[in-house]
C-alpha cells in the first residue's frame, strides 16, 4: 500500500468494519433469517426442462389436490393480473416473468406452487403436468441471426431485437490512410459471479389498498422499482420495496431478482396470504441472470509504430431469451469508453442485440467491461505480435496523454482524471516487469512453457442513468424525453440525545458501506466513527431514494459516500452557528474535534457535540435566525457532467474513470494443459482511497472472479439449448487453491467530479484480468487466437496444434461413453426369505413392483412382460420425476431374467439392462444376484460420475432390500448392504 | 428434514447458511461431535443424540469474539459474510484436531469452501494469525 493516512482524519484508515461482529457470530440478518407472518406460504417454481417449446397444457389439478397446497399460479394468472415488463428498446415484443404460451430457455418459470411449507410445495410442484411441443432451439448469437434460425418471438420476425450504427470522427478515412489494418475475432463466453446467497422474496398484497409490499434481496438500480410497479399495474407508492439488513454477495446478480418480485406479488394476491420464496442453487445457476456472451469483430487502423488512428467495432450481444431491464445496458455501459485507456479519435461501432434460447442476462461484476476489454487488449497484443513491437510500447504510445485530463473521448466520455503514463511506468518498475521478462527467458531456456500478458483498462464508475438511451436513435430519444444523471442520496440525522445516524440507499452486499460512511461523517463532525450509526438497507416507503439508488456501477465511494459527506457538511455548517451562539464566538471560529465543539482561538471554550446537536430538539427557540433545524439533513447529489446522449450519440456514460494496468506471468504444464499464475501485478488509480483494506478487498475479490472467468467458468449450453453447468460441481468456481495473491499497487489521482475525490474500484479486475491472463497464455503457447475459459483441455488442444478453432465454435458435448451417454455398471446380490418361484412372481407383478421400486408413483402392466412406471429419482442434487418403460427378456423361469428399461424425464434420460439370477440356497431362501449396465444422458449425466455410480447402487440396492422385505424380511445383503451403509454413512 | 432446516427454521439458529444444498460450497458447515459436516447433506435424524455446534457457539461470551473470529475481523477476511460461518466452523474443527496445522493444511481445509468476495488471501492470513494467537495463549497459560 502506498497510502499515508492523515493522522487527523478517519477517512483513509483501515478501521475495523462495524459489519463484522454480527456476521462473525451468526447474528446478521439475511433475508431467509427474518421472521415472516405466521400465515406465510412457501413457493416452489415449476420450470421448463426445454430450451424452446410451445406449452400445450398446464395441468395443476393433481398439485392443487396435494397436501398443504393453497394455490398454483400459472402464466395465464400472471398475464391476467400484470402487464408485460418494460423493454429498453422499441420492439414489438412482450416480456413476462413467467412463460405464457411458450418457453424459451431451460429453467423458465411455468407455474408456482404455494403451500404451507417448502417441502410440500416442492412435492406438489412435481405433480404439475406440463405438455410441451418441442421447437428447435438456437444458442449461438451469430447463428441466431441466420435465415434458418428458429425465431424466439414470432412478433419480432427475427431474433435481432435492435441494431444501431455509430460513427465518431472519420474512421473510413483513417482506415484508408493507415498502413496496417489489424483485427481480432472474439467469442466472449457467458459466466456469472454466483453469490453464495441465492435470491429471496417475501411478498404481501393488500387488496383494500391495492398495494404490494415486497421484501427482496434486491441490489438496485431502483429504476427497476418503476418496472415492477408498472408490471403490477399499481402506482409507485403502492409498491413498497424493502431490502434485508444483510445480503450475501451480489456482484450485480441480485438486480435480476426483480421478475420474482412480480411473480411473488401476484402469488400473494392470488393466495390471499403472504408468500415467501428462496431460490435454490440449481434454480440460481439455470435461471437467475448471467453476464452476456458476445461475438465481436474489432479492427484497428494502425501506424507503423503501433499507434492506432481508428477502431471499428462490430458487436453481437446475446441477451438470452428476453431483453429484460436494464438490458441492453451491458452493451451500452461502456459506450463512452470504447477506446479504453487510449486516445483514438476515430471510431465506428455496429451494435446488434440478439435473442437466443438461453437465460436472460443482467448485471454482473464488470458489466460490459470484460466483453469490451477482451477484444481491445487482445487487439493490442495482436498489433505488437503482427508488427513485431514490444507490447508495452504499443500500449504506452496509445495512452491518453497525462496533460489531457479531463479528456473527452471520441464516443463522448469525459475521463475525469488520470496520469496513465506515470501509473504504467510505476507498475513496470515497482511490479518487477524486467525480472519477469528474465524469468520467462530462463523458463523458456529450460524448455518450460511460460508467457507474459498485459492489459490496460479504464474502469468506469457511477453510471449515467441516461447511457442506456444511446440504444435509441436521436429521434426516438427526442420523443421519449431526456434521461441523465445519477441521483445519490444520504441523510444525516441527530436524535434527542445528540447522537448521529446516517441513512443511505446504497444497499450493500458485503462491501462495508456502513463502516466507510461512519468514517466520512465522523470526519465532518469531529466524532469517533464508533459513535455514528449507519443504516444502508432501503424501504422505498420511508427512505430518500431515486432511480439511481442501489449498489452497482461501483458508485458507493464516489457517489454515496460523497453525498453523505455533503449532508454532514451541511449539518456542520448549521451547528457552527448554533455553537457560536453557545460559546459566544463567531461561526468561523468553530472547530469540531473529539466529540466536542470548540473555539479555535480558545480551545478551552468548548461544549460537547451532543449538547449543541440536540438543541434543535429540546430548545428550538434558542436556534439562531439563520438555522432552521439541525435534526436531519438529506442531500440529493447528481453530477452535472452526466448529461443525456447528444444528437451525435456522444455519451458520457460514467462519471468516473479509474485506470488499471496489469501484467502477469503464467506457466503452462505442457502435459496437463494446466495454467499456473506465477505472478500477477495490478496497478490501480481509483482516485482518493477512503479505506485501504476495503479497496484491497475489492481488488482481490474482483481478481478472484476474473481468475474464474479466465480459466474455469462458463455457462455451457448444448446445441439443443440444454443447460450443462447446472450445479457447482459443473460450474467450477475458483477455490483457495486456484487464486494466487496479486501484487496490488496504487497511483492516486483524485477525481475532480466527486465530493471525496474517490472513484469506483470494485469491478476493474473483472475487466482487465481475464484478458491479461489470456494474453499471457497466448504468449506462452504462441497462439494467435484464444477463447475463454482457458481450461486445461482447451490449452492442450492449442498446444497440440489441432486445427484452429472456428470463429464461433459450437460447443461440443464431451461424450462420456461410446453412445454419448455416461455409462454405469455394477453388480450385487441379496438373499431373501422366499422361494425362487415366489420371487419370480413378485418380479412380474405390477403391484409388487409398485411397492418395491424406489420412488414409484404407480406401475402399469402393458403386457405380461412389459411395464410402465412413474418414478421419482434423485441423483445428488438433481432430483426429478421420470417415466420408465421396462421389458423382460430371456425369461428362464424361475432361474433368470433380463430386464431392459428406458426412462425419460425433465432432467434427462437413461436406458439400461440387467440380468437377475435366482439361486435356491435352501430353507426356502433365495439368493438374488444381479448385474447391470446402464447409460444416462441429459442434465442428470452432467452430475459427477462418482455421484451417479453411488446413486445407482443405492437405488438398485433399495429395490432389492424392498423386495426382500416384501418377501418377508430376512434379507442379508452380503457385501452390498455394507457398501450401502458406507455410502449413506460416509456421505460427506 | 434436512439438518440445515432443523437448525435454521426449527431451532431458529440462522447463523448457519445454505448456499448450494449439494455439498459443494461449504457455507452450511457445522460441527457434529467436533467433526465438520455439511449440514445440507445431513438429515436431521442422522444427528439425533449427537452434539451439534454452530457458529452461534463460537463466542466465548456474548459480545466477545473468539480469537479466530477476531482474526477474521482484523484481517478483513469476510465481506458479505454469507460463507463465513461454515469457514469458521471448519477451521475451528481443524485447529481443535491439529493446533499446529501447516499453511498447506489450512489451505486444504479451506479448499472445501467457496467464497466469492475475498479472493481467499485474507482468510488464509486470518487463519494463520488466529492459530499463532491460540498457540501463544496456550504457551502463556502453561
- End residue of a domain, out of A287, A321, A342: A287
Q: Tell me the chain A residues in contact with residue B115 when contact means C-beta distances shorter than 8 Å.
A: 196
Q: Is residue A383 part of a domain?
A: yes
Q: Are A256 and A322 in contact (CB under 8 A)?
A: no
Q: Are A619 and A610 in contact (CB under 8 A)?
A: no
CB contact under 8 A, A25 and B84: no
C-alpha cell at A151: 425465431
Q: Does A662 share its domain with A707? A: yes
Residue whose C-alpha is closest to residue B105's, from B121, B119, B124, B87: B124
> What digits encode the pLDDT tens for the residues A479-509?
999 999 999 999 999 999 999 999 999 999 9
What is the pLDDT at residue A196? 98
Q: Does A159 share its domain with A242? A: no
- End residue of a domain, out of A609, A637, A665: A637
pLDDT of A876 higher than 70: no
pLDDT of B139 higher than 80: no
CA-nearest residue to A693 within chain B is B76
Distances (CA, A) of A746 to A36, A419, A428, A499, A700: 46, 12, 12, 36, 13
CATH classification at residue A563: 3.30.365.10
Report how far residue A315's alpha carbon sits from residue A333's, in angstroms, rounded to the nearest whole number.
14
Q: Does A367 share its domain with A414? A: yes
Size of interface A-B (CB pairs under 8 A): 175
pLDDT of A987 higher than 80: no
pLDDT of A66 higher than 90: yes
Residue A68 CB-density burial (10 A; 0-12 exposed, 13-18 middle, 19+ buried)? middle
CATH classification at residue A867: 3.30.530.20
Q: Does A873 share its domain with A974? A: yes
- Provide the percentage of residues in chain A whose pLDDT is more than 70: 92
The residue behind cell 479531463 is A406
The number of beta carbons lying within 10 Å of the beta carbon of residue A985 is 9
- Provide the percentage of residues in chain B whose pLDDT is more than 90: 92
CATH classification at residue A277: 3.90.1170.50
Report how far residue A198's alpha carbon sits from residue A370's, in angstroms, rounded to the nearest whole number.
24
> What digits encode the pLDDT tens for the residues A129-157?
999 999 999 999 999 999 999 999 999 99
Residue whose C-alpha is closest to residue A638's, from A551, A752, A559: A559
**Sheet strand arrangement including A180-188:** A160-168, A346-354, A308-318, A293-302, A180-188
pLDDT band at A807 (very low <50, low <70, confident <90, very high): low
The residue behind cell 439508488 is A549
Report how far residue A63's alpha carbon sits from residue A115's, in angstroms, rounded to the nearest whole number.
10
Work out whether the CA dihedral A571, A574, A576, A578 comes out positive or negative: negative
What is the pLDDT at residue A832? 84
Q: Does A230 share its domain with A303? A: no
Q: Does A162 share its domain with A270? A: no
The alpha carbon of residue A648 and the mean position of all alpha carbons in its chain are separated, in whole angstroms, by 33
Mapping DSSP to helix (H, G, I), strand (E, B) and coil, where does residue A111 land?
strand
The alpha carbon of residue A150 and the mean position of all alpha carbons in its chain are separated, in whole angstroms, by 28
Distances (CA, A) of A827 to A899, A934, A974: 14, 12, 12
**Domain residue limits at B55:** 3-141
Q: Tell me the chain A residues in contact with residue B122 when contact means C-beta distances shorter than 8 Å.
A: 697, 700
Q: Does A213 share its domain with A268? A: yes
**Domain residue limits at A863:** 822-985
Q: Is residue A492 part of a domain?
A: yes
pLDDT band at A179 (very low <50, low <70, confident <90, very high): very high
Work out whether the CA dihedral A280, A285, A291, A292 comes out positive or negative: negative
DSSP state of A195: -
Q: Are A241 and A260 in contact (CB under 8 A)?
A: no
CB contact under 8 A, B79 and A736: no
Number of domains in chain B: 1
> What digits encode the pLDDT tens for the residues A3-38?
444 558 999 999 999 999 999 999 999 999 999 999
Q: Does A214 share its domain with A84? A: yes
| Rg of chain A on CA atoms, in Å | 32
Q: Can you tell me the mean pLDDT for B32-37?
A: 98
Surface of A (740-769) touching B: CB under 8 A: 741
The residue behind cell 441466420 is A146
CATH classification at residue B133: 1.10.150.120
Q: Tell me the chain B residues in contact with residue A29 when contact means C-beta distances shorter than 8 Å.
A: 14
A386 touching B, CB under 8 A?
Answer: no
Residue whose C-alpha is closest to residue A854's, from A868, A866, A869, A843: A869
Q: Are A278 and A174 in contact (CB under 8 A)?
A: no
Q: Is residue A18 part of a domain?
A: no
CB contact under 8 A, B17 and A30: yes
Residue among A16, A19, A281 whose CB faces B21 most closely:
A281
Report the mean per-residue pLDDT for chain A: 92
> What digits encode the pLDDT tens for the residues A919-938?
999 888 888 888 888 776 65
Where do runs of H (alpha helix) occur along A85-140?
118-125
Report how far residue A23's alpha carbon sits from residue A29's, in angstroms, rounded to the nearest whole number.
9
The alpha carbon of residue A813 and the mean position of all alpha carbons in its chain are separated, in whole angstroms, by 24
The number of beta carbons lying within 10 Å of the beta carbon of residue A431 is 23
Q: Can you tell me the mean pLDDT for A969-985?
A: 44
The number of beta carbons lying within 10 Å of the beta carbon of residue A6 is 11
Residue A214 CB-density burial (10 A; 0-12 exposed, 13-18 middle, 19+ buried)? buried
Work out whether the CA dihedral A224, A227, A232, A233 comes out positive or negative: positive
Residue A813 main-chain phi, psi, to 5 deg: -90, 120
Residue B44 main-chain phi, psi, to 5 deg: -55, -40
Q: How far is B11 from chain A (nearest CA, A)?
A: 12
Mapping DSSP to helix (H, G, I), strand (E, B) and coil, where does residue A80 land?
helix
A31 touching B, CB under 8 A?
Answer: no
What is the pLDDT at residue A109? 98
Q: Does A84 share its domain with A215? A: yes
Q: How far is A744 from chain B (nearest CA, A)?
A: 13
Residue among A24, A196, A729 whose CB faces B116 most closely:
A196
> What digits encode the pLDDT tens for the residues B96-124?
999 999 999 999 999 999 999 999 999 99
> What digits encode the pLDDT tens for the residues A182-227?
999 999 999 999 999 999 999 999 999 999 999 999 999 999 999 9
Q: Can you tell me the mean pLDDT for A937-942?
A: 60
Residue among B38, B55, B114 whose CB faces A735 most closely:
B114
Residue B56 CB-density burial (10 A; 0-12 exposed, 13-18 middle, 19+ buried)? middle
CA-nearest residue to A743 within chain B is B121
pLDDT band at A939 (very low <50, low <70, confident <90, very high): low
pLDDT band at A802 (very low <50, low <70, confident <90, very high): low
Report how far residue A484's alpha carbon sits from residue A532's, in angstroms, rounded to the nearest whole number.
33
What is the pLDDT at residue A933? 83
Which one of B4, B8, B9, B20 would you mutate to disrupt binding with A, by most A Cβ within 10 Å of its Cβ? B20
The number of beta carbons lying within 10 Å of the beta carbon of residue A181 is 13
Residue whose C-alpha is closest to residue A103's, from A42, A147, A46, A162: A46
The alpha carbon of residue A921 and the mean position of all alpha carbons in its chain are separated, in whole angstroms, by 60
> What digits encode the pLDDT tens for the residues A944-970?
555 667 777 777 778 777 877 787 654
Q: Does A237 share its domain with A172? A: no
CA-nearest residue to A692 within chain B is B76
> What digits encode the pLDDT tens for the residues A349-380?
999 999 999 999 999 999 999 999 999 999 99
Residue among A281, A510, A697 whose CB faces B81 most closely:
A510
- End residue of a domain, out of A593, A614, A637: A637
Least confident of A598-612, A620-634, A804-818, B90-104: A804-818
CB contact under 8 A, A249 and B16: no
What is the pLDDT at residue A937? 62
Q: How far is B132 from chain A (nearest CA, A)?
A: 19
Q: Can you tell me the mean pLDDT for A281-292?
A: 97
Q: How far is B49 from chain A (nearest CA, A)?
A: 16
DSSP state of B58: -
Report how far residue A849's alpha carbon sits from residue A886's, in angstroms, rounded to the nearest whole number.
11
pLDDT band at A825 (very low <50, low <70, confident <90, very high): confident
What is the pLDDT at residue A137? 98
Q: How far is B52 from chain A (nearest CA, A)?
A: 15
Q: Are A40 and A275 in contact (CB under 8 A)?
A: yes
Run of H or E including A767: helix A764-781
The answer to whether the bond into A156 is cis (omega within 30° of 0) is no
Q: Does A583 share its domain with A440? A: no
Q: Can you tell me the mean pLDDT for A864-890?
A: 78
Number of domains in chain A: 4
Q: Does A240 share its domain with A324? A: no
Amino acid at each position: 500500500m502506498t497510502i499515508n493516512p492523515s493522522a487527523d482524519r478517519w477517512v483513509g484508515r483501515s478501521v475495523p468494519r462495524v459489519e463484522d461482529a454480527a456476521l462473525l457470530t451468526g447474528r446478521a440478518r439475511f433475508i431467509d433469517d427474518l421472521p415472516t407472518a405466521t400465515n406465510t406460504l412457501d413457493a416452489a417454481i415449476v420450470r421448463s426442462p426445454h430450451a424452446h417449446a410451445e406449452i400445450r397444457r398446464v395441468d395443476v389439478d393433481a398439485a392443487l389436490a396435494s397436501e398443504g397446497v393453497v394455490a398454483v399460479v400459472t402464466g395465464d394468472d400472471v398475464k391476467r393480473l400484470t402487464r408485460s415488463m418494460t423493454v429498453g428498446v422499441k420492439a414489438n415484443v412482450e416480456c413476462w416473468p413467467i412463460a405464457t404460451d411458450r418457453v424459451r430457455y431451460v429453467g423458465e418459470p411455468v407455474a408456482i406452487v404455494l403451500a404451507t411449507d417448502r417441502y410440500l410445495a416442492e412435492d406438489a410442484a412435481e405433480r404439475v403436468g406440463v405438455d410441451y411441443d418441442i421447437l428447435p432451439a438456437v444458442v449461438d448469437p451469430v447463428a441466431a441471426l441466420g435465415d434458418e434460425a428458429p425465431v424466439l418471438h414470432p412478433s419480432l420476425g427475427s431474433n435481432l431485437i435492435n441494431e444501431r450504427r455509430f460513427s465518431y470522427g472519420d474512421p473510413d478515412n483513417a482506415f484508408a490512410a493507415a498502413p496496417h489494418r489489424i483485427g481480432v475475432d472474439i467469442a466472449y463466453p457467458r459466466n456469472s459471479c454466483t453469490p453464495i446467497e441465492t435470491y429471496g422474496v417475501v411478498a404481501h398484497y393488500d387488496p383494500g389498498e391495492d398495494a404490494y409490499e415486497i421484501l427482496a434481496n434486491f441490489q438496485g438500480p431502483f429504476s427497476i422499482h418503476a418496472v415492477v410497479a408498472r408490471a403490477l399495474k399499481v402506482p409507485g407508492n403502492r409498491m413498497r420495496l424493502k431490502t434485508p439488513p444483510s445480503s450475501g454477495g451480489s456482484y450485480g446478480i441480485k438486480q435480476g431478482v426483480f421478475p420474482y418480485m412480480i411473480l411473488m406479488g401476484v402469488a400473494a394476491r392470488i393466495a390471499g396470504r403472504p408468500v415467501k420464496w428462496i431460490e435454490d442453487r440449481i434454480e440460481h445457476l439455470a435461471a437467475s441472470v448471467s453476464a452476456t456472451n458476445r461475438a465481436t469483430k474489432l479492427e484497428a487502423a494502425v501506424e507503423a509504430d503501433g499507434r492506432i488512428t481508428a477502431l471499428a467495432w462490430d458487436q453481437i450481444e446475446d441477451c438470452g431469451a428476453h431483453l429484460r431491464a436494464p438490458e441492453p445496458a451491458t452493451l451500452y455501459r461502456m459506450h463512452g469508453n470504447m477506446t479504453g485507456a487510449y486516445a483514438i479519435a476515430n471510431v465506428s461501432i455496429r451494435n446488434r442485440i440478439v435473442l437466443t434460447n438461453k437465460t436472460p442476462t443482467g448485471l454482473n461484476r464488470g458489466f460490459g467491461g470484460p466483453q469490451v476489454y477482451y477484444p481491445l487488449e487482445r487487439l493490442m497484443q495482436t498489433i505488437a505480435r503482427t508488427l513485431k513491437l514490444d507490447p508495452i510500447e504499443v500500449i504506452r504510445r496509445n495512452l491518453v496523454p497525462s496533460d489531457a485530463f479531463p479528456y473527452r473521448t471520441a464516443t463522448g466520455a469525459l475521463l475525469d482524471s488520470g496520469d496513465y503514463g506515470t501509473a504504467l511506468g510505476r507498475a513496470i518498475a515497482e511490479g518487477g516487469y524486467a525480472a519477469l521478462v528474465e524469468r520467462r527467458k530462463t523458463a523458456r531456456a529450460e524448455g518450460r512453457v511460460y508467457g507474459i500478458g498485459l492489459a490496460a483498462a479504464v474502469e468506469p464508475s457511477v453510471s449515467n442513468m441516461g447511457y442506456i438511451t444511446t440504444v435509441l436513435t436521436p429521434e426516438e430519444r427526442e420523443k421519449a424525453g431526456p434521461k441523465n444523471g445519477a441521483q445519490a442520496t444520504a441523510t444525516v440525522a441527530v436524535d434527542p440525545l445528540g447522537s448521529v445516524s446516517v441513512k443511505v440507499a446504497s444497499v450493500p452486499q458485503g462491501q462495508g458501506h456502513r463502516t466507510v460512511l461512519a468514517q466520512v461523517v465522523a470526519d465532518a463532525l469531529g466524532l469517533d466513527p464508533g459513535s455514528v450509526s449507519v443504516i444502508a438497507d432501503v424501504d422505498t416507503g420511508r427512505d430518500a431514494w431515486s432511480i439511481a439508488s442501489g449498489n452497482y456501477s461501483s458508485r458507493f465511494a464516489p457517489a454515496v459516500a460523497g453525498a453523505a459527506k455533503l449532508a454532514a457538511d451541511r449539518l456542520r455548517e448549521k451547528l457552527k452557528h448554533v455553537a457560536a451562539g453557545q460559546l459566544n464566538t463567531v461561526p468561523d471560529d468553530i472547530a469540531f474535534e473529539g466529540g466536542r465543539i470548540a473555539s479555535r482561538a480558545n480551545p478551552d471554550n468548548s461544549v460537547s457535540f451532543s449538547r449543541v446537536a440536540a438543541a434543535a430538539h429540546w430548545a428550538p427557540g434558542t436556534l439562531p435566525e439563520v438555522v432552521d433545524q439541525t435534526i436531519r439533513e438529506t442531500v440529493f447529489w447528481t453530477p452535472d457532467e452526466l448529461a443525456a446522449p447528444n444528437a451525435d450519440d456522444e455519451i458520457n456514460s460514467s462519471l468516473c474513470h479509474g485506470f488499471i494496468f496489469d501484467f502477469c506471468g503464467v506457466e503452462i504444464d505442457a502435459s496437463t494443459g494446466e495454467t499456473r499464475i506465477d505472478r500477477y501485478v495490478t496497478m490501480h488509480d481509483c482516485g482518493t482511497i477512503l479505506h485501504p483494506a476495503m479497496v484491497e478487498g475489492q481488488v482481490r475479490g474482483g481478481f478472484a472472479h476474473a481468475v474464474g472467468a479466465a480459466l474455469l467458468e462458463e455457462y455451457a449450453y448444448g446445441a439443443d439449448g440444454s443447460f450443462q453447468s447446472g450445479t457447482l460441481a459443473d460450474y467450477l468456481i475458483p477455490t483457495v487453491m486456484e487464486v494466487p495473491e496479486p501484487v496490488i499497487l496504487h497511483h492516486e489521482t483524485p477525481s475532480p467530479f466527486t465530493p471525496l475525490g474517490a472513484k469506483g474500484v470494485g469491478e476493474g479486475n473483472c475487466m482487465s484480468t481475464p484478458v491479461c491472463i489470456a494474453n499471457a497464455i497466448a504468449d506462452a503457447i504462441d497462439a494467435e487466437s484464444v477463447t475463454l475459459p482457458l481450461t486445461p483441455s482447451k490449452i492442450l488442444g492449442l498446444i497440440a496444434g489441432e486445427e484452429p478453432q472456428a470463429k464461433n465454435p459450437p460447443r461440443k458435448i464431451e461424450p462420456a461413453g461410446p453412445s454419448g451417454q455416461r455409462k454405469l455398471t455394477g453388480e450385487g446380490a441379496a438373499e431373501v426369505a422366499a422361494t425362487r418361484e415366489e420371487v419370480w412372481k413378485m418380479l412380474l407383478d405390477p403391484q409388487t413392483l409398485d411397492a418395491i421400486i424406489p420412488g414409484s408413483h404407480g406401475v402399469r402392466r402393458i403386457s405380461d412382460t412389459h411395464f410402465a412406471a412413474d418414478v421419482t429419482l434423485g441423483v445428488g442434487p438433481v432430483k426429478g420425476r421420470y417415466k420408465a418403460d421396462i421389458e423382460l427378456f430371456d425369461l428362464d423361469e424361475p432361474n433368470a431374467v433380463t430386464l431392459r428399461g428406458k426412462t425419460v424425464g425433465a432432467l434427462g434420460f437413461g436406458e439400461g439392462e440387467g440380468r437377475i439370477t435366482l439361486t435356491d440356497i435352501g430353507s426356502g431362501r433365495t439368493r438374488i444376484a444381479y448385474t447391470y449396465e446402464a447409460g444416462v444422458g441429459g442434465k442428470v449425466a452432467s452430475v459427477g460420475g462418482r455421484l451417479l455410480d453411488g446413486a445407482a447402487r443405492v437405488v438398485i440396492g433399495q429395490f432389492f432390500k424392498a423386495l426382500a422385505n416384501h418377501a418377508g424380511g430376512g434379507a442379508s445383503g452380503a457385501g452390498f448392504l455394507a457398501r450401502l451403509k458406507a455410502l449413506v454413512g460416509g456421505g460427506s | 428434514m434436512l439438518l440445515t432446516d432443523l437448525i435454521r427454521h426449527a431451532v431458529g439458529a440462522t447463523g448457519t447458511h445454505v448456499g448450494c444444498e449439494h455439498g459443494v460450497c461449504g457455507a452450511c458447515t457445522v460441527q457434529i461431535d467436533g467433526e465438520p459436516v455439511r449440514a445440507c447433506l445431513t438429515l436431521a435424524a442422522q444427528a439425533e443424540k449427537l452434539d451439534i455446534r454452530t457458529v452461534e457457539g463460537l463466542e466465548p461470551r456474548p459480545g466477545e469474539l473468539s480469537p479466530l473470529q477476531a482474526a477474521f475481523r482484523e484481517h478483513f477476511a469476510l465481506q458479505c459474510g454469507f460463507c463465513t460461518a461454515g469457514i469458521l466452523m471448519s477451521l475451528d474443527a481443524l485447529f481443535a484436531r491439529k493446533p499446529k496445522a501447516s499453511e498447506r493444511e489450512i489451505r486444504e481445509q479451506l479448499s472445501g469452501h467457496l467464497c466469492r468476495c475475498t479472493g481467499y488471501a485474507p482468510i488464509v492470513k486470518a487463519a494463520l494469525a488466529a492459530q499463532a494467537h491460540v498457540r501463544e495463549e496456550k504457551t502463556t497459560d502453561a
